[in-house]
């Protein structure tokens, strides 16, 4: 019964389909829904808090503007100016005259809380009259405060000072003479406590100065982290709203330009998000229970799969250790995907055995070819040794010219025998051309000359061996076939971007000339051979082109620019593996 219920195919035993089509989509949908609800509530709260914050900031700016306006009015008030110009000896009598005027100004702040605004006026005799008191105070040092001293020398005639309270200092003048001192005090901390209680959404408010110091706050237990304060200070005179995830706080902040302050509202999100967190915990608990049950079922199914797999793996390992000579895996013990896997492995073993036999045959054939190559190379080595014998023989007879010919020919012959070198340095290729040139100069009795235009920095550029010699030979034998003198062959080498460009140009018979066309295209010195070598070494990165120069012909070879200086990856004289340098193209 149990075997009938459990699927026999590996596809249905895996839990990927259930995980990918049910569990993960369900979790994503739930998390997305929860996130959208949380964002919507947070956005609505942020909008409401911003409205309240704007209301408080605008009210604060209004209070400050009114304080400044009242200061200007008091400076010009006839009753105050008259009293300060001719104060009586009795300060209490003066107080009776000025008190109604000051109280009138103070009453104008009733909507904002008049208890938080105070006006003080001092005369030349040291009497100080305050709107918060009915008795004058004798304080001769009051008018000597540093703020009054600064205002006396300031052309503007007033100064704002922010301390525990916000102060506005000014002097009252008559006929350019100072007759009184005026100070307006605004208790912004008390005002903030009073005003924040009258808004709809109750929360904490904090006033910060430009340096991030707390000037006032409605709840002394509220603390802002340093990174939150730093973020508020970077508002760039704008408003912002963000969430302190660690403390679950919604923070709205704005800049008060006239006072260079920042006001932040701090709202505790736990009040609104508590129920959502409870739902989130329930969702997580349900999800974990479902996943745990699924893992348990998957473990049971996986066990029925892994046991035969391990047995199959052991048999495969034993067969590999026996170098595939062991008998095949028995197929009658498996079913479903296991049976398919066993059959595939048995077929692979058969193929490997066949390939091993084929490889052994190829190795034997390669060894046979190598033996034939060694036999073939014996004759060229014999000729090279014979050439050296001729050189020493003519040197003994004093024939230096013939000896030099033997040396040049030996250089070419020796390089042709160095079959292990596929590419050589450019300066080595030039030496081969010079050896070939020496022999041809004797043959043609100086009817031509070779001119080299090779950049010194390309001295160690890597080129295929004998890439230039056939081109030079073609120019000499067929380009100068009808020229008796002044033949020039120019060999150039330069770099263009990441390409090495080699040019062989002559001033002889043109390549496309009618009477010489077939001779310059003969198979003996085959340009097709050079093209094939370039294709084998560089694939599509190597090319050979031919063009008329009128007179003459220019053959251009382009290939990748590869540099291998003596102190680089290859020392001079060391065998160079072209596949290792080019990347096995």
Quick: pLDDT tens for 250-292.
Answer: 888 998 888 889 999 998 877 666 666 677 777 778 878 887 7
| Tokens standing for residue 532 | 């094939």
For the stretch 416-446, pLDDT in tens is 665 556 788 999 889 888 888 888 888 777 7
Contact predicate 148/171, CB 8 Å? yes
Average pLDDT, the chain: 79
More confident: 368 or 234? 234
Q: Looking at residues 310-328, what average pLDDT do you find?
A: 71
Q: Please indicate whether residue 579 or residue 259 has the higher confidence score (pLDDT).
A: 259
- The pTM (predicted TM-score) of the whole model is 0.45
CB 305 within 8 A of CB 12: no
The larger pLDDT score, comparing residue 19 to residue 253, is at 253
At residue 42, φ and ψ (nearest 5 deg) are: -65, -40
Contact (CB, 8 A) for 48 and 142: no
Contacts of 118 (CB under 8 A, 6+ apart): 106, 130, 131, 132, 184, 185, 187
Confidence label for 583 from pLDDT (cuts 50, 70 and 90): very low
Is a pLDDT exceeding 70 seen at residue 377? no
- Nearest Cα to Cα of residue 120 among 87, 60, 74: 74
| Per-residue pLDDT tens over the stretch 143-179 | 889 988 888 887 777 889 988 899 999 999 888 888 8
pLDDT band at 580 (very low <50, low <70, confident <90, very high): very low
How many C-beta atoms lie closer than 10 Å to residue 166's C-beta?
Answer: 24
Q: How many CA atoms lie within 13 A of 102 on its CB side?
A: 28
To which residue do tokens 């075997």 refer? 3
Give residue-wise pLDDT tens across range 172-229: 988 888 889 999 999 999 888 888 887 888 889 999 988 889 999 998 888 888 888 8
Task: Please tell me the predicted confidence (pLDDT) of residue 585.
Answer: 41
Lowest mean pLDDT among 93-107, 286-300, 461-475: 286-300
- 196 phi-psi bin (left φ>0, alpha ψ -120 to 50, beta other): alpha
Residues forming a β-bridge with 160: 168
Residue 328, number of CB atoms within 10 A of its CB: 15
Q: What is the C-alpha separation between 148 and 157, in angstroms, rounded?
A: 9
Percent of the chain with pLDDT over 90: 13
pLDDT of residue 479: 75
Tokens of 523: 């198979």
Q: How far apart are CA 384 and CA 171, in angstroms?
A: 117
Cis ω for the linkage preceding 58 (within 30 of 0): no
Render pLDDT for 491-549 as a digit per residue (tens, 0 to 9): 999 999 899 999 999 988 776 654 444 554 444 346 888 888 888 888 889 999 999 88
Give phi and psi for 468, each to the nearest 5.
Answer: -100, -30
Contact by Cβ (8 Å): 517, 466? no
Least confident of 12-26, 316-330, 566-580: 566-580
Identify the weakest region by mean pLDDT among 48-62, 64-78, 219-233, 470-484. 470-484
**For residue 280, what are its two tokens?**
């989130």
Model pLDDT, residue 12: 55
For residue 152 the two structure tokens come to 């006396």
The predicted structure's pLDDT at residue 170 = 92
pLDDT of residue 544: 93
User: What is the rounded distance in angstroms from the CA atom of residue 585 to the CA atom of residue 475?
Assistant: 31
Q: Which residues contact 519 (CB under 8 A, 6 or more apart)?
A: 478, 481
Q: What is the pLDDT of residue 426?
A: 93
Residue 114 pLDDT exceeds 70: no
SS (HEC) of 221-264: CCCCCHHHHHHHHCCCCCCEEEEECCCCEEEEEEEECCCCEEEE
Task: Output the pLDDT for position 100.
Answer: 87
Task: Check residue 61 and report its DSSP letter.
Answer: H
Can you tell me the mean pLDDT for 470-480?
Answer: 84
The angle at the Cα of 325, spanning 323 to 330, to the nearest 5 degrees, equals: 115
pLDDT score for 494:
94
- For 413, residues 6+ apart whose C-beta sits below 8 A from its C-beta are 380, 383, 384, 387
Cα angle value 397/403/382 (rounded, 5°): 105
**Is the CB of residue 558 less than 8 Å from the CB of residue 499?**
yes
Residue 219: the pLDDT is: 87
- Decide if pLDDT at 579 tops 70: no
Question: Between residues 386 and 149, which one has the greater pLDDT?
Answer: 149
Of the two residues 457 and 2, the one the predictor is more confident about is 457
Q: Cβ(410)–Cβ(391) under 8 Å?
A: yes
For residues 416 and 466, the answer to whether their CB atoms sit within 8 Å is yes
Distance CA 183, CA 119 (A): 6
Q: Specify whether the CB–CB gap between 252 and 264 falls below 8 A.
A: yes
- Give the span between the Cα atoms of 81 and 74, in whole angstroms: 8
Full set of structural domains in the chain with CATH: 399-410+417-582 (3.30.565.10)
Minimum mean pLDDT range among 88-102, 425-439, 544-558: 88-102
Nearest in space to 103 (alpha carbons), one of 132, 60, 126: 132
């Amino acid at each position: 019964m149990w075997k009938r219920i459990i699927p026999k195919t590996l596809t249905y035993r895996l839990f990927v389909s259930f995980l990918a089509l049910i569990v993960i989509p369900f979790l994503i949908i739930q998390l997305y829904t929860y996130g959208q609800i949380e964002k919507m509530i947070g956005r609505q709260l942020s909008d409401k808090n911003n409205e309240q914050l704007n209301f408080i900031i605008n009210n604060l700016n209004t209070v400050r503007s009114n304080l400044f306006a009242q200061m200007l009015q008091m400076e010009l008030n006839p009753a105050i100016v008259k009293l300060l110009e001719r104060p009586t000896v009795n300060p209490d009598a003066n107080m009776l005259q000025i008190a109604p005027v000051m109280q009138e100004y103070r009453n104008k702040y009733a909507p904002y809380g008049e208890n938080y605004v105070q006006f003080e006026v001092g005369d030349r005799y040291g009497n100080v009259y305050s709107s918060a008191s009915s008795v004058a105070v004798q304080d001769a040092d009051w008018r000597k405060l540093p703020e009054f001293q600064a205002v006396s020398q300031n052309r503007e005639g007033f100064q704002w000072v922010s301390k525990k309270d916000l102060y506005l200092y000014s002097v009252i003048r008559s006929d350019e003479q100072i007759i009184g001192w005026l100070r307006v005090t605004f208790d912004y901390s008390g005002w903030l406590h009073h005003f924040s209680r009258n808004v709809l959404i109750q929360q904490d408010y904090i006033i910060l100065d430009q340096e991030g110091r707390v000037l006032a706050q409605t709840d002394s237990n509220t603390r802002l982290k340093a990174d939150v304060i730093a973020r508020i200070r970077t508002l760039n005179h704008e408003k912002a709203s963000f969430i302190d995830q660690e403390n679950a706080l919604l923070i709205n902040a704005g800049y008060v330009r006239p006072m260079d302050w920042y006001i932040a509202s701090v709202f505790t999100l736990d009040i609104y998000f508590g129920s959502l967190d409870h739902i989130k915990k329930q969702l997580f608990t349900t999800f974990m229970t479902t996943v745990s049950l699924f893992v348990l079922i998957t473990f049971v199914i996986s066990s029925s799969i892994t046991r035969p797999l391990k047995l199959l793996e052991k048999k495969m390992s034993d067969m590999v250790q026996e170098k595939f000579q062991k008998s095949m895996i028995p197929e009658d013990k498996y079913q479903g995907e296991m049976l398919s896997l066993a059959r595939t492995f048995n077929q692979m073993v058969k193929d490997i055995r066949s390939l091993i036999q084929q490889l052994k045959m190829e190795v034997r054939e390669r060894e046979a070819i190598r033996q034939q190559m060694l036999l073939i190379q014996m004759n060229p080595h014999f000729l090279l040794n014979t050439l050296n014998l001729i050189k020493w023989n003519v040197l003994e007879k004093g024939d230096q010219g013939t000896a030099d010919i033997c040396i040049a020919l030996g250089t070419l012959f020796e390089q042709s025998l160095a079959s292990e070198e596929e590419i050589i340095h450019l300066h080595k290729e030039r030496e081969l051309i010079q050896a070939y040139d020496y022999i041809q100069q004797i043959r043609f009795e100086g009817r031509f000359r070779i001119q080299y235009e090779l950049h010194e920095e390309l001295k160690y550029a890597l080129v295929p061996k004998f890439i230039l010699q056939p081109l030079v030979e073609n120019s000499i034998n067929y380009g100068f076939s009808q020229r008796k003198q002044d033949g020039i062959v120019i060999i150039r080498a330069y770099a263009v971007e990441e390409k090495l460009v080699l040019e062989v140009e002559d001033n002889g018979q043109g390549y496309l000339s009618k009477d010489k066309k077939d001779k310059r295209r003969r198979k003996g010195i085959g340009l097709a051979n050079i093209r094939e070598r370039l294709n084998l070494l560089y694939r599509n990165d190597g090319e050979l082109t031919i063009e008329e120069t009128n007179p003459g012909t220019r053959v251009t070879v382009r290939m990748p620019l590869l540099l291998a200086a003596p102190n680089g990856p290859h020392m001079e004289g060391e065998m160079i593996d072209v596949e290792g340098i080019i990347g096995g193209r």
